Amino acid sequence: MADQIVQMTVNGRLEQYRIPQHMTLLRFLREMLALTGTKNGCEAGECGACTVLLNGEPVNSCLVLAVECDGATVETVEGLTERGALAALQQTFMEENAIQCGFCTPGMLISAYALLQRSPHPSDQEIKEALVGNLCRCTGYERIVKAVRQAAQA
Amino acid sequence: MPELDQISQGIGENVARVDVQEKASGAALFTDDIQFGSNLLHARIKRSPLPHAIIQSIDISQAERLPGVKAVVTGADFAGRIGLYLKDRHIFARDRVRFIGEPVAGVAAISEEIAEKALDLIRVEYEPLQPIFHPLDAIKPDAPLIHPDLGSYEVVNFIFPEPGTNISNHFKIRKGDVERAWAQCTAVVEREYYIPHIQHVPIETHVAVAQVSHLGKITLWSSSQSPFAQRDLIAKTLGFSPSDVRVISPYVGGGFGCKAGVTMEALPIVIAMKAKGFPVKLRLTREEEFYTNFVRQALVIRLKMGCDQAGNLLALENTMYWDGGASTEYGVNITRAGGYSSTGPYDVPNVKTDSYCVYTNNIIGGPYRGFGMSELHTGIEQCVDELADALGMDKVEFRLRNVVQGGDTLATGMTMHPTGIKECIQKVAAAVDWGKTSKSTEPYLKRGKGIAIMWKAPAMPPNPGSSATIKLNEDGTLLLGIGGQEIGQGTFTVMAQLAAATLGVPVKAVRIAKPVDTDYSPYEWQTVASRLTWSMGNAVLAAAQDARRQILAIVAEAWKEDVDDLDILDGVVISRKTEKEIKLKDFAVYGIPKENFEGWIGGPIFGRGKFMPTYVTGLDKETGQGKRAVVHYTTGAQAFEIEVDIRTGKLHVLRAAAAFDVGKAINPELVRAQMEGGLIQGLSSALFEQMIFKEGTMQNPNFVDYRIATTVDLPDEMMTFIVEVPQDDGPFGARGVGEHPMVPTVAGIANAIQDALGIRMQGPPFTAEKILLTLQSQEEKKG
Ligand code: FES
Ligand code: FES
């Protein structure tokens, strides 16, 4: 399968990549850039574990082809952590014990971050709706919703 | 030895999880995150498309010739059988296949695409056999045998297969005389329930990477609850010694039982044996995760329960047919656990139980959070409600009257230890304002309340061991070695708390040695059965006490003082007599110089500890009687207030309350987190979850068609209560609570539905559609 040359800014760094045409953004991040904080839970757009920011919007990276991201800006949990964007949420997720196995956590954090970007003071209902695509089998969600609420108030 | 109250600092405190920073930043390493470089090979599995068939031939020659393919294996390469309690499974099918999805051949190639292509080139000829999909069909005398060689399989001595049938374990209890007791009963209910297959659905699917050296030594990286059990089982099956196999297991992205024992982990190993030197990765797709690995087996349960006029339970007859699936290597013990706990948490004088593990051509049943208890209690707790109704007695009162108490003789003959189940019942009942009706805002919204209670013992062999090590570092921190796994439950944090409190250091001075590695970590049987806080906790306590003894002996010698006058506080050894002080970091590794340069005292400090229950006895094969069936029971209760929209059948939980007797909450917030997570998982199984099969093929192997609870399904209010009646042999009195919080949920919801709508269904899930249909058919009956 043919490769394609793509320019992409990943976590603030613009680079040129040679990417197989069929490769998803999820696989590109994990397998070519070793950004393994972005998780693979289904590769079908149904679990949210692979959520990243693409041009500032949360997307399931398993549904996006990496070559479609030519000229795009991608941010993952690693980059967002480094630039401090997730600090408030990470703090409340820790305080509220909203993390158990942690596999859903990066995706949750990014969906929650995107919500707070567009709606700084969401209602509980808004929080729940924003996170409905992020599955968590461990926590029962209550603490996650609470952590997002707390971060919004912080 | 320090007194417990002196060293309990930090116990019962809500210490932050020790793994939380890594997990919140994406830095936490899971198996699929480990980088193996460009030599990594990708494995894919050719699976049986038929539920039951003889394999006539397998032609792999074309697949082997495909460029990029490094290895192709089939069952012909490996004869051994594998299994935890009953060795009834081949790694790759050999003579026959027994379920759709069973591994038939495996390929390793330089890319997943090539591996997939190679699968298509493998030709398998089958001769179909008659499949059996229901346990009640499988027990018929003329049913075809799924395992004709059952009699020759290796089995542990507490499992009783019946060769020549499809029954791989039959557990019995005969206590008192049920036949006589029925005559004395005022009320008797007789019910049958069907609990369907569900799946664990960890968000991380199974993944394992194997590498076999040119000398044949095996290394396996796997997302596993059971690194040691995997090493042992796989080595024995392949004819190795367990110490020739090394299993390394980083963080686990959810387990709930499905990553216990061995499921798919042997597959990449045997493939890697044909591609020596290469790491070989097998990661299950979500679809494979659904229908090729352990699931929670289905159950047909027939219950007859009776009580006298005053509401005292007199007799119980419980017949369970567990749909064990194509292999019951692990499931046979679920059958046993269901058997010895078959009364639920009740004191019943006359008991007759028959718990059958039955082979079918369905997917393999395995351990699932609760190990049979959710299924069992779904039946028991609905029958109890019906009995109370038959007498016109309050359901809470009925339970309080019959519930098991310390000193009671259980159905197996074991004496019950003290338990806080009454307090649990009272707490949850009060939380939902039991006995008061609450009004809905609309006439089409019907409200109801339900309660359900539970017990569960760790289900395991009589002698599963734990061990722990503590190594002091140069900086005064300590490295805690454990072989139990962090699967989300918080065990690393609890172990750090136990070690810190016992030794006398702050929790933040404890590092957990990870990943768990069978070459370096101390032995731990498995991360299952809610046993770690109690069992591994005891080992950690012992290791910390050992290290503490060593520390104090060194300082006592150096200061020429009595050890009894010394203590360790916050990482500093102090003398209560002379008020001298020395920091751990000042001598933990290098020791203390004697006066006048006359030599040294001490040396690196290394504590070790172990724990193994030694008092569990066997149970008689015919009567199920024995001195001590299990180590202990954790008990609890849940209550719900629900609202159902009778126009749509949609159920909404207004209030949910949970209370469990954990003996002692080492970290109360972590206990509450288990109670909440379990409750929602239970609610999900009550309302949505069912694996739908058509002739053995799963129809809904994805998250759209197999829905699990999401944020929008949360109850309006969730309340949790911790009850603490100490466990005599638990660390600081603690016992486990990982599984229990989902056990009573289905029954609690079913009872609330009955209260709201006056209907009962034969089994979960209580989907909106099913509720609506049941309501309609009830209307028709009335009309
Ligand atoms: S992995 Fe992308 S949504 Fe599940
Ligand atoms: S914490 Fe395990 S899936 Fe969310």
* Domain edges within chain A: 3-80, 84-153
SS3 B259: coil
DSSP output for B561-620: --GGGEEEETTEEEETTT--EEEGGGTTTT-EEPGGG--EE----EEEEEE---------
Half-sphere exposure of B697 (CA within 13 A, CB side): 7
- Residue A49 beta carbon below 6 angstroms from any ligand 1 atom: yes
Q: Which of A110, A136, A145 to mutate to test the pocket of ligand 2 (most atoms within 8 A of CB)?
A: A136
Same domain, B375 and B485: no
Distance between CA atoms of B336 and B529, rounded to whole angstroms? Answer: 14
Which residues in chain B have their CB less than 8 angstroms from residue A53's CB? none
Cβ-based neighbour number of residue A121 at 10 Å: 9
* A30 interface with B at CB cutoff 8 Å: yes
Task: Name the closest-CA residue to atom 4, ligand 2.
Answer: A136
Question: What is the rounded CA–CA span in Å between residue B26 and residue B41?
Answer: 25
3-state secondary structure at position B198: strand
Neighbours of B772 (CB within 10 A): 17
Query: How confident is the model at residue B5, as a pLDDT?
Result: 43
B300: in domain: no
Would the CA dihedral through B359, B360, B364, B365 be positive or negative?
negative
CA distance to partner chain B, nearest, from residue A126 (Å): 10
**E strand or H helix that includes residue A90:** helix A87-95
Judge whether A44 is closer than 8 Å to chain B, CB to CB: yes
Mean pLDDT of B70-78: 97
Cβ of A62 closer than 6 Å to ligand 1, yes or no, is yes
Same domain, B445 and B580: no
Check if the beta carbon of residue B299 is closer than 8 Å to that of residue B185: no
What letters, b where the CB count within 10 A reaches 16 and e where it falls short, cover A39-59? bbbbbebbbbbbbbbbeeebb
Q: What are phi and psi of B717, to 5 degrees?
A: -145, 135
Check pLDDT > 60 for residue B528. yes
pLDDT averaged over chain B? 97
The CA–CA distances, whole Å, from B433 to B386, B641, B676 equal: 21, 9, 20
Name residues contacting ligand 2 (CB within 6 A).
A 99-104, 136-139; B 203, 254, 488
CA dist., res. B233 & res. B518, Å (int): 13
Q: How confident is the model at residue B8 (pLDDT cuts 50, 70, 90)?
A: low
Q: pLDDT tens across B598-644, in order?
A: 999 999 999 999 999 999 999 999 999 999 999 999 999 999 999 99
Given a cut of 80, whether residue B783 has pLDDT beyond it is no
- Report the nearest atom of ligand 1 relative to the CA of A62: 2
3-state DSSP call for residue B71? strand
Question: Which ligand neighbours the alpha carbon of A59 most closely?
Answer: 1
Residue B3 pLDDT class (50, 70, 90 cuts): very low
A45 to chain B nearest CA, in Å?
A: 9
CB contact under 8 A, B20 and A41: no
Long-range Cβ pairs for the range A78-84 (8 Å, 24+) = A78/A11, A78/A35, A78/A37, A78/B25, A78/B26, A78/B27, A79/A10, A79/A11, A79/A12, A80/A11, A80/A53, A80/A109, A80/A110, A80/A113, A81/A37, A81/B24, A81/B25, A81/B26, A82/A11, A83/A12
> Residue B502: enclosing H or E segment and its boundaries?
helix B491-503
Residues of chain A with pLDDT under 70: 1
B223 and B286 part of one domain = yes
Ligand 1 neighbourhood includes A133 CB (under 6 angstroms): no
In terms of Cα–Cα distance, which of B743, B771, B770, B767 is closest to B682? B743
- CA dist list (Å): A18 to A2, A65, A66: 10, 13, 10
Of A111, A88, A108, the C-alpha closest to A98 is A108
Is A90 in the B-facing interface, judged by CB distances under 8 Å?
A: yes
Task: Tell whether B171 is covered by a domain.
Answer: no
The pairing of beta strand B103-109 with beta strand B69-74: antiparallel
Are B383 and B273 members of one domain? no
Task: Determine contact: A37 vs chain B, CB below 8 A.
Answer: yes
Q: Which of the four pLDDT bands, split at 50, 70 and 90, describes residue B779?
A: confident
**B642 lies in the same domain as B751:** yes
The CA distance from B256 to B195, in Å, is: 18
pLDDT digits (tens, 9 = 90+) for B710-730: 999 999 999 999 999 999 999
Residues from chain A that touch B489, judged by Cβ atoms under 8 A, are 100
pLDDT of residue A1: 60
What is the pLDDT, as a whole number, of residue B359? 98
Q: Do the chains contact at A102 and B489, CB–CB below 8 Å?
A: no
List, in order, residues 6 or more apart from B90 with CB less than 8 Å away. Answer: B75, B78, B79, B80, B81, B82
Domain membership flag for residue B180: no
- Tell how far the Cα of A99 is from the centroid of ligand 2, in angstroms: 6
A107 lines ligand 1 (CB under 6 A): no
Q: What is the CATH number of the domain that holds B535?
A: 3.30.365.10
- Residues B708 and A42: beta-carbon distance below 8 Å: no
Size of interface A-B (CB pairs under 8 A): 164
Are B118 and B263 in a shared domain? yes
| Domain A3-80 homologous superfamily, CATH | Beta-grasp domain (3.10.20.30)
State whether the beta carbon of A50 lies less than 6 angstroms from ligand 1. yes
Q: Could you tell me which chain B residue has the CA closest to the CA of A42?
A: B286
Q: What is the C-alpha to C-alpha distance for residues B13 and B25, in angstroms, rounded to an integer?
A: 25
Which residue do the tokens 């603690």 mark?
B734
C-alpha B6: how far from chain center: 34
Angle at B743 between CA B368 and CA B771, to 5 degrees: 105
Interface check A143 vs B, CB under 8 A: yes
Mean pLDDT calculated for residue range B138-164: 98
- Whether residue B312 lies inside any domain: the answer is no
Report the chain B residue with the minimal C-alpha distance to residue A145: B711
Residues of B in contact with A38 (CB under 8 A): 26
Inter-chain touch B676–A76, beta carbons under 8 Å: no
Closest atom of ligand 2 to CA, residue A138: 2
- Look at B24 and A37 and tell me if their CB atoms are within 8 Å: no
> Domain ends where: B558, B578, B611?
B611
Residue B16 CA to residue B19 CA, distance in Å, equals: 9
Q: Using the structure block, give the residue that is written with the tokens 């917030």.
A: B669
Q: Is residue B767 part of a domain?
A: yes
Tell me the nearest-neighbour CA distance from B291 into chain A, angstroms: 14
> What is the count of structural domains for chain B?
3
Cis peptide before B464 (omega within 30 of 0): no
Asked if residue B728 and residue B671 are part of one domain, the reply reads yes
Residue pair B481/B776 in contact (Cβ under 8 Å)? The answer is: no
The verdict on B412 and B491 lying in the same domain is no
Q: For B164-182, what is the mean pLDDT?
A: 98
CA distances to B331, B422, B594 from B746, rounded to whole Å, are 21, 20, 67
Q: Is residue B354 part of a domain?
A: no
Same domain for B439 and B532, yes or no, is no
SS (H, E, C) B25-47: HCCCCEHHHCCCCCCCEEEEEEE
B230 with B85, same domain?
yes
B104: domain CATH number?
Answer: 3.90.1170.50
Residue B39 within any structural domain of the chain: yes
Across the range B739-757, mean pLDDT stands at: 98
Residue where a domain stops, chosen among B551, B579, B611 = B611
Residue B1 has pLDDT above 90, yes or no: no
Q: What are the beta bridge partners of residue B609? A: B468
User: Closest Cα to residue B17, out of A57, A50, A46, A98?
Assistant: A98
Asked if B582 and B718 sit in the same domain, the reply is no
Q: Are B428 and B657 in contact (CB under 8 A)?
A: yes
- State which residue of chain A sits closest to B742, comparing Cα positions: A140
Overall CATH class of domain A84-153: mainly alpha
Residues B716, B729 within the same domain: yes
Please compute Rg for chain B using Cα positions. 27
Ligand 1 atom nearest to A61, measured from its CA: 2
Q: Is B242 in contact with B236 (CB distance < 8 Å)?
A: yes
Note whether residue B734 is domain-resident: yes
Query: Which residue from B213, B209, B372 is spatially nearest to B296, judged by alpha carbons?
Result: B372
Q: If you measure CA to CA, which chain B residue comes closest to A94? A: B20
Average of per-residue pLDDT across B494-507: 97
What is the span of the domain harbouring residue B8?
Answer: 4-29+464-611
CB of A135 closer than 6 angstroms to any ligand 1 atom = no
- For B445-474, the pLDDT digits (tens) are 999 999 999 999 999 999 999 999 999 999
How far is it, in rounded angstroms, from Cα B486 to Cα B582? 34
pTM: 0.97
Question: Are A47 and B203 inside 8 Å of each other by CB?
Answer: yes
Q: What percent of chain B has pLDDT over 90?
A: 97
User: Would you say B672 and B636 are in contact if contact means Cβ atoms under 8 Å apart?
Assistant: no
Question: d(Cα B588, Cα B581) in Å, to the nearest integer?
Answer: 14
Cβ–Cβ below 8 Å for A46 and B201: no
Could you give the CA distance from residue B225 to residue B379 in angstroms, rounded to a whole number? 29
Q: CA-CA distance, B678 to B670, in Å (whole number)?
A: 12
